A and B are shown apart, each in its own frame.
Chain A
Amino acid sequence: MRVFKFDKNKGTKENLDLSGENAIANKETAGLSQSQIVLKRFLRHRAAVFSVGMLVSIIIFVFSAIDSKIGPISINGWWKHKTDDLPPLLYEGCPGGTVGCPTISMRPKWLGGAGIALGEHPFGQDDIGRDYFALVMRGAQRSVMVMFIIGFFAATIGIVVGAIAGYFRGWIDAVLMRFTDFIITIPSVIIGAVIGAKFGNLGAAVLAVYLGLFAWTGLSRLVRGEFLSLREREFVDAARVAGASARRIIFKHILPNAVGVIIVSVTLLLSGAILLETALSYLGFGVVSPDVSLGLLISNYQAAFSTRPWLFWYPGFFIIAIALSINFIGDGLRDAFDPRQKRAISKKERLRAMVGIRNKE
């Protein structure tokens, strides 16, 4: 049995042989639309699917824990403390005469522990007694928000600049790409620091917008490359002959075909953004006190590591958990969108193919 599948990257019809070498891999995609294939492939990447669940639950948990405001929606947190409460510092049962240690207990009673309980201050307290759980939640909210704002601005600008440069070519391309080059020459930490020093005290959101205005360069180059090759294809000619405007061709015809590259690159941009924010806050150029961010918390308490390590561990875990899930989602998407990607074929499948048992799916 022979099936023809259109290969987006090569622009040719690829002959898919369902009885040959790649039989198992190719049979699965026969008769499915592009988005179905992508979804199917993505769901197969277990780490990526797990990461989506992880990221979504972290975001829901973090934003519902303490009072937060997303645009017009205000959420009242379920956690008893707020970031500016000043409860008394607890010191019972703390190791080595320290104060404000975490009260969280993960060891069940039947294993000889205190039972699974959060206690009064699950992540401990900071120097002046503020609840560290609330602070970490606030910090994670800030970091997630900054990440999405940077991602949104960078993606929008990057796509528009790249699309225009790639589609129109000529002097427009030259001007836009030289402009991109010059933003690239300024290292992102330098831009961040200069912006942070000026706008850091206006709040995390403003800082994020400005950072987003400088973070689009890599994406725009990528989109441009994709547009340069896609604009030569027949469907673009067809659209042009049919009288479509440039705007329509760019956004309705070419852009959906470039979406794979864009999505992958944007996810990686997001994980870069969260690390950039923490790095800047660490250097003191990002989010500044009294506002809270994960990088700032680590920076404040790094010296306390040997005596009160929890002040250092918890914010770090949240940074890593968020960045790691995004990286895995990006990897899953890359595999899902890449038509050349072959999946691992298990021994059972190979054996079945060899003895000629038809896979019932």
Chain B
Amino acid sequence: MLAYVIRRLGILFLILFGSSFILYNLAAISGDPIGELRFSDDPGAAQAIIDLTRQLSLDVPPPLRYFIWLKGVVGIFWGKADFGLTRDSLSVATEIGNAIPVSIRLVFVATFVAIVIGIAIGIASALRQYSRFDYSMTFFAFLLFSLPIFWVAVLLKQYMAIQFNNFLSEPKIPFGWLLTLSSLTAVFWASVLTRSRGKFWMTFSTVFISTAVLIKTLETLEWFTNPRLGPIAVFIFSIVIAFAVTHLSVGLSNRTALNSSLTMSVFTLGWYFAIQPIFNSQISLLQILGLGVVVILVATITALFFSRIDRGPLIRTTVLTALLSAFLIVVDKYMRTWSSYMSEDAVNYRPVPTFGQSKPLLPQEDYWIRTLDILVHLLLPTIALTLISLAGYVRFSRGTLLEVLNQDYIRTARAKGLTERTVIMRHAFRNTLIPLTTILVADVVGIIGGAIITERVFGWYGMGTLFNRAISTVDLNLLMGVFFITATLAVLANLIADLLYSALDPRIRAGSGK
């Protein structure tokens, strides 16, 4: 195994060396770094050319200049890597260091949401193969595959930001919209949940009426300008979560797990009141994460208290319920911050921005307002990225699950008399996740350098923007710096994906010959 990893790493270095050499020369012939200065009338231009030439060693031909760059980068092995300077005499390393967190912030949420929703839809449509739901989800996925992201982005800016802000200034939902929203929701849930036509219309009408009533109630309560959940809604949602998690994780017939999860719902109600003073004082992200750890600990202890045997699944269920419920409390806090965020001068009652990664004029003292601002700025780019990458996960998880469901061990599991839930969740779903890990690793890394267009449309300053700037100004050091990071991550991700795959799937052994 070790030999295999070492061999792979060796090849990795050769590949990185080769491709960076090719890219350097390609980029060098793609443009002239001092082209503009050559035709400039500015008296300082001649001096600027001389300075730039000296600073970036432009007098050395590109194939040799590459090795000057390489010499700096190889320093990474003895801890003083030198990525060179950009054209504006800034350190490439600092520029990249500033850009990476922005890119990660942009990409992480989008990937996470896309995976969760994508897998859920993919599995639902695989379980309803050749149903109307399946066909419409297939169409939806292909439609998303065919959308250029910048096109989606412009639409989102118009409808999710400008028009939505208009709506928020006077939150009245017209009757036509009410009907459309309710029927879309109803069609979706009815086709996910039911198989026969009679049940379909029953579910449809139930969901339709309840959605319409809910929207109307929220409207009359002016919830859209002043959203909140409150302790009662948090408690009710938390009970729903407890039932849902237990059902999916161990089945509702497991009373111990259900009791343990419901206990967490009661705890959540207690936490709700206990946590408000802490939330209202000065708080940081680290403290919130710390509270999360406390929640996990309490949930684990509760689960241990409830169970005598088969503790693993029980702890899993309880912890998941507790975390999701605790998350609701945080959501509630953000909702309560909303109206004061809206009334800030910098926001001025138009909360959804079309551009930028935060509002610089916003006061920075309050943690909740500051982070809400970041979240709001994340909204549009995240939706755009999610829509684009959702389709891949839907198709992939659908295909894999269908393949798994055709396997003999599924037939065996059914023949043993296991419940359908156990067959799907424990036997089929887990094996579907194995191939997903490989595309996940590749995706995350690919996206770090790959959100070029999204960053540009929404005015974010991440790796994509750096790269964009590097190409258009022929800034070789910057380009190579960005490339070095993304390519190294890509190759490493491939290696990790292979190792992970062989660890998860015992049928495959990494490095055991061909």
Where the two chains meet, the residues of A that have a C-beta atom closer than 8 Å to any C-beta of B are: 47, 169, 178, 181-187, 189-191, 193-195, 197-198, 228, 271, 275, 278-279, 282-285, 295, 298-299, 302, 305-306, 312, 316, 319-320, 323-324, 327-328, 331, 340, 344
Contacts and interface: CB of A to CB of B under 8 A. Distances in A.
Contacts of B406: 340
Interface stretch (B417-425, B433-441, B484-492): B484-492
A306 B158 contact: yes
B453 A279 contact: yes
B270 interface: no
Nearest to A344: B130
A312 B158 CA distance: 12
B471 A327 contact: no
Contact of B15 (A182, A195, A298, A328): A182
A279 B150 contact: yes
Given A190-B23, A282-B148, 13 more contacts: A47-B139, A182-B22, A195-B30, A198-B26, A271-B146, A279-B149, A283-B468, A298-B150, A298-B154, A302-B150, A320-B143, A320-B147, A324-B146
Centre residue among A184, A185, A228, A323 by max chain B CB count within 10 A: A185
B27 A194 contact: yes
Nearest to B23: A186
A284 B471 CA distance: 11
Contact of A316 (B27, B129, B148): B148
Contacts of A278: 148
B84 to A, nearest CB: 18
B154 A323 contact: no
Nearest to B491: A185
B19 interface: yes
B453 A271 contact: no
Nearest to A328: B142
Closest 4 CB pairs of A and B: A323-B146, A344-B130, A198-B30, A182-B19
Interface residues of B, number: 47
B467 A324 contact: no
B27 A319 contact: no
Interface in B21-63: 22-23, 26-27, 29-31
A271 B147 CA distance: 10
Contacts of B29: 198
B19 A323 contact: no
A147 to B, nearest CB: 12
A197 B157 CA distance: 29
A178 B19 contact: no
B16 interface: yes
A197 B472 contact: yes
Given A197-B472, A283-B468, A327 B148 contact: no
B483 interface: yes
Contacts of B143: 320, 324
B452 interface: yes
Tell me the dominant secondary structure on chain A's binding face: helix
A306 B142 contact: no
Given A183-B19, A186-B23, A324 B151 contact: no
B483 A178 contact: no
B138 A331 contact: yes
B331 interface: no
B137 to A, nearest CB: 13
B452 A283 contact: yes
B450 interface: yes
B449 interface: yes
A46 to B, nearest CB: 10
A194 B11 contact: no
Contact of B30 (A194, A228, A283, A284): A194
A186 B154 contact: no
B27 to A, nearest CB: 5
B30 A282 contact: no
A198 B31 contact: yes
A186 B148 contact: no
Nearest to B31: A197
B14 interface: yes
B277 interface: no
B148 A298 contact: yes
A187 B446 contact: yes
B396 interface: no
Interface in B208-223: none
Contacts of A197: 30-31, 471-472
A108 to B, nearest CB: 24
B18 interface: yes
A189 B450 contact: yes
A187 B468 CA distance: 13
A258 B23 CA distance: 33
Nearest to B11: A178
B93 interface: no
A331 B491 CA distance: 30
28 contacts: A178-B11, A182-B18, A182-B19, A185-B15, A185-B16, A186-B23, A190-B449, A190-B471, A191-B26, A193-B467, A193-B468, A193-B471, A195-B30, A197-B31, A198-B31, A275-B148, A279-B150, A279-B453, A283-B453, A298-B148, A316-B151, A320-B151, A323-B146, A323-B147, A324-B143, A324-B145, A324-B146, A331-B142
A190 B26 CA distance: 11
B162 interface: yes
B316 interface: no
A190 B446 CA distance: 12
B456 interface: yes
A186 B483 contact: yes
B19 A185 contact: yes
B164 to A, nearest CB: 14
A299 B154 CA distance: 10
B148 A295 contact: yes
B180 to A, nearest CB: 21
Contacts of B139: 47
Contacts of A275: 146, 148
Given A275-B148, A323-B145, A340-B406, A190 B467 contact: yes
A252 B270 CA distance: 74
Centre residue among A228, A295, A327 by max chain B CB count within 10 A: A327
